[in-house]
Amino acid sequence: MNLSRFNLALRLLWRDSRSGELTILIIALLIAVTSSTAISLFSDRLQRTMTLQAAEFLAADLVIACPTPIPTDWQSRAKQLNLTLAQTVEFPSVLIEHDELLLAGVKAVSSSYPLRGLLKTTGADYNSETITHAGPEAGRVWVEKRILSALKLNIGDSLTVGEKPLTISNIITYEPDKKGDLYSFSPRVMMNDADLTATGIIQPGSHVHYFFQFSGDQEAIVNFKQWLQPQLTPSQKIMDIHEDRPELGTALIRAERYLGLSSILVILISGVAIAMATGRYTQRHFNATALLRCLGCQQREILWLYCSQFLILGLLTSAIGCLLGWFAQRGLFKLLKDLLPQQIANPNLSALGFGFSIGIIVLLAFALPPILRLKNVAPLRVLRQDLEPLPISAWFVYSLSITIIGLLIWRYTTDVKMTATVLGTGLITLLVLSVLIYGLLNLIASLVPKMSLTWRFGLQGLIRNRQATISQILAFSLTLAAMLLSFTVRTDLINNWQQQLPENAPNHFALNIFPEQQLAFKADLQQDAIQGSQFYPVVRGRLTKINHTPVQKFVSKDSQGDNATHRELSLTWTKELPEDNKLVAGQWWTPTQTVSVSVEQKLADNLKINLGDLLTFSIDNQLVYATVTSLRALKWDTMKPNFYMVFSPGSLDAFPSTYITSFYLPEAKKDLLNTLVKKYPSTTVLEVDLILKQFKTLLKQLTQAINYLLYFALMAGFTVLFAAVYATLDNRIYEGTLMRTFGANRKFLRKTQWIEFGVLGLISGFLAVIIAEAILYALYTRVMAIEYQPNLTLSLIVPVISALFVSLVGLLGVKQVLNRPPIHVLRGL
């Protein structure tokens, strides 16, 4: 490296930064780096924290559920991958103590259980909960409070499970992986699996569920899962955080996508600002460059001179940005302290590195093309000021930015086809928009001569240099669209979550209500003003054949269909279409004599069931044939009873049925449960309020996090708008001054500026709305799976806000110059 040249670069940079020309560039770069560092650190930590939390619901990262133990080489494979193992065995068992009889759900746990999450117990006094990270020791047993009262037991007493007497040491109040499976619900007895053999319950053919649990490095988990999948038998099922809790899974996935989207948007927005600021910087350096060339600098040296300046600038600013981002991210976690779990995943160095590299990359993508232009400054310019260097080949500029933007998008989507689609659509949009704006400017130009002086001068500012105006409007509208996107997606995402779990979403299920008790039960709920869902009759049965072909032929492994065919289904019938269900094909009951069934759409897809197919069900060892007359879509996460199969009324009258309902029980009325359980002893009440509460807290956290990200995006957006207006001020200031020299007063100039900036902002705002709505449509229907609805109010407000904001910034920029004596401005040139 030539040291004296390097010194020159440093000195020039120092001059430039002091003269304030690079301020906007530095600010924009700082925002890009700070926000992407903060976002990447924050979302990385949050995602890992959330994953950890979600893993708690499973008590592991991955679980294999199966009716028999898994092969030992699976376990050795897991150990090879450095995974931690635990194991639980669950089975129903009848407990008999003091002549009382109770069906309990026994769970024998290994010493390393739970791998994720924790257990809560209380002692005899019931009020102080203890948190532990391991289950009962051998010889001990933990039970739910209900067991004590039902079997007239106390802590310290002996409870015999199978043939093994165990000592009751604690009351269990919370276990992370309690399953909400409707028919397996019975009070919990938790024991150590060392005592399992002694119980004598586990015999070949006994009804037992094994859960093999694994935790560890995410990569190792994925690796393990991929290795497992081809070896699974139909009865072995993998559960992991994304699959097992669909409602949690989708919330997480959506949040992840939003985080990714915001990141890209902030980077792009800042990139635009950097491009504009560098453009201005370059223009202001034409003369100096021409002089340097005159003095004998070669093109290569000029390039090196400026590039090294920018490189120094980029490295310094990125470093500072990283630091700021790190603090911003810490601030965010501090702000969210009360909402987030106690333990937060540690910051990841690679996320920090990502922020830094973004700084360099953004600078490369957006600042290099204008800088390269300086290379082309002709030495002759010292003599002829009007000699402007040729712009760098458009082909080069565009392919550079497109490549880098593409890489960014790809980083988040990791999907080549999707990236290509996004980029392609983006390019076509830009092209169409440019043509549109060009047409609009021509239209304005044709109208201008007939306008009043103020309007004429205002609008002339726009049509005089159409190319510059087009790129300015494009930059504005893209930035605004990005801001709008961030805002709308966030709002819709949060609304969607809130709709999904309204305040009064049912938090209890009541099952096994006998038909003759149904009316009384309903009345009891009504009496206490408890909101309940519909009562559905339930008959248990199995789907065996589709058009006389055994259903197994249609099943792909590990699918929903697999699930549905390997266990008994809850079959119901109703006259009306159940609430929250939507008919997607066929017709609701028409008065015919044949037995008809309505099938849930996804299951139908999975099993390739079509309208008119004949399904065979096995109920109570009898066969029932039903014709598919409709397909339904339903929302699984409404916390209301949902059914794969709904029969026409009367079809299942021959079979004994019970009723199921769900209801919302506020915490204050929790006592009612005891009354209900006493009055309807056969009825099982399933409490999901705890799970729901956890889930709601999680969503609240996500919402908060997403809000903060939005603020980042908005901040970046406003800075860009600011930068963009400022980048074009030079010429406006000069023209304004000259007009003042010839006697224009400030009011007139202010008016023309209002018109110019206002129209600029208005057009950009309208375009932004169009762009944003188009993207939203694609995003919602393709990526996020949220219903798309155009937002008319926003579409009207945004252009107005945009016009106001752009005008205000513009006027602010010219203001101090308007008040300075014109000679200062003329001298400065």
**Chain positions contacting another protein, by CB under 8 A:** 386, 453, 460, 464-465, 731, 735, 738-748, 818-819, 821-824, 826-827, 829
Smallest gap from Cβ 42 to another protein, in A, equals 45
CA distance 710 to 259: 9
**Is the Cβ of residue 453 or residue 519 nearer to another protein in the bound state?**
453
**Is the Cβ of residue 1 or residue 829 nearer to another protein in the bound state?**
829
**Is the Cβ of residue 399 or residue 741 nearer to another protein in the bound state?**
741
Smallest gap from Cβ 290 to another protein, in A, equals 17
Packing angle, helices 246-284 and 349-375, rounded to 10 = 30
**Is the Cβ of residue 17 or residue 460 nearer to another protein in the bound state?**
460
**Is the Cβ of residue 229 or residue 465 nearer to another protein in the bound state?**
465
**Is the Cβ of residue 649 or residue 822 nearer to another protein in the bound state?**
822
**Is the Cβ of residue 299 or residue 741 nearer to another protein in the bound state?**
741
- DSSP assignment of 366-391 equals HHHHHHHHHHT--GGGGT-TT-PPPP
**Is the Cβ of residue 145 or residue 815 nearer to another protein in the bound state?**
815
Cβ contact 484:657 at 8 Å: no
CA distance 266 to 175: 41
**Is the Cβ of residue 460 or residue 610 nearer to another protein in the bound state?**
460
**Is the Cβ of residue 137 or residue 735 nearer to another protein in the bound state?**
735
Long-range contacts, stretch 198-204, CB < 8 angstroms, 24+ apart: 198/162, 198/163, 198/164, 199/93, 199/161, 199/162, 199/163, 199/164, 200/162, 200/163, 200/164, 201/91, 201/93, 201/106, 201/161, 201/162, 202/89, 202/91
Could you give the 3-state DSSP secondary structure of residue 345?
coil
Cβ contact 26:13 at 8 Å: no
**Is the Cβ of residue 80 or residue 465 nearer to another protein in the bound state?**
465
732: tokens are 């406006």
Smallest gap from Cβ 333 to another protein, in A, equals 46
Phi, psi of 375 (to 5 degrees): -60, -30
Smallest gap from Cβ 791 to another protein, in A, equals 38
Smallest gap from Cβ 460 to another protein, in A, equals 7
Cβ contact 596:589 at 8 Å: yes
Smallest gap from Cβ 747 to another protein, in A, equals 7
Smallest gap from Cβ 291 to another protein, in A, equals 17
206: tokens are 């006994």
**Is the Cβ of residue 385 or residue 789 nearer to another protein in the bound state?**
385
Distance, first Cα to last Cα, the chain: 36
What is the H or E stretch that residue 238 is in?
A: strand 237-240
With the C-alpha atoms ordered 137, 139, 140, 141, is the resulting torsion angle positive or negative?
positive
Smallest gap from Cβ 2 to another protein, in A, equals 33
Smallest gap from Cβ 453 to another protein, in A, equals 6
Contacts of residue 53, defined as CB under 8 A and 6 or more positions apart, other chains included, come to 341, 698
Smallest gap from Cβ 738 to another protein, in A, equals 6
According to DSSP, residue 66 is labeled E
Smallest gap from Cβ 729 to another protein, in A, equals 15
Neighbours of 34 (CB within 10 A): 29
Packing angle, helices 746-778 and 453-464, rounded to 10 = 50
Distance from chain centroid for Cα 133: 30
Distance from chain centroid for Cα 324: 25
**Is the Cβ of residue 206 or residue 465 nearer to another protein in the bound state?**
465
Q: Which residue has the tokens 């519909």?
A: 534
Smallest gap from Cβ 761 to another protein, in A, equals 20
Long-range contacts, stretch 471-475, CB < 8 angstroms, 24+ apart: 472/724, 472/728, 472/760, 473/437, 473/760, 473/763, 473/764, 473/767, 474/430, 474/433, 474/434, 474/437, 475/272, 475/275, 475/276, 475/720, 475/724
**Is the Cβ of residue 156 or residue 449 nearer to another protein in the bound state?**
449
Smallest gap from Cβ 819 to another protein, in A, equals 7
Exposure pattern of 86-98 as b/e (b: 16+ CB <10 Å)?
A: bbbbbbebebebe
In 427-578, which ranges are E strands?
A: 508-513, 531-532, 536-546, 549-550, 569-573
Secondary structure of 551-593 in HEC code, one letter for each residue: HHHHCCCCCHHHHHHCCCEEEEECCCCCCCEEEEEECCCCCCC
Integer angstrom CA distances of residue 420 from 254, 271, 407, 692, 812: 21, 20, 10, 40, 41
**Is the Cβ of residue 456 or residue 542 nearer to another protein in the bound state?**
456
**Is the Cβ of residue 283 or residue 795 nearer to another protein in the bound state?**
283
Smallest gap from Cβ 462 to another protein, in A, equals 10
Smallest gap from Cβ 826 to another protein, in A, equals 7
Smallest gap from Cβ 745 to another protein, in A, equals 4
Task: Burial-class residue 600 by CB neighbours within 10 Å (0-12, 13-18, 19+).
Answer: buried
**Is the Cβ of residue 446 or residue 731 nearer to another protein in the bound state?**
731
Smallest gap from Cβ 448 to another protein, in A, equals 11
202: number of CA atoms within 13 Å, CB side?
A: 17
Could you give the 3-state DSSP secondary structure of residue 326?
helix
What is the H or E stretch that residue 192 is in?
A: strand 188-192
In 643-746, which ranges are E strands?
A: 645-647, 658-664, 684-687
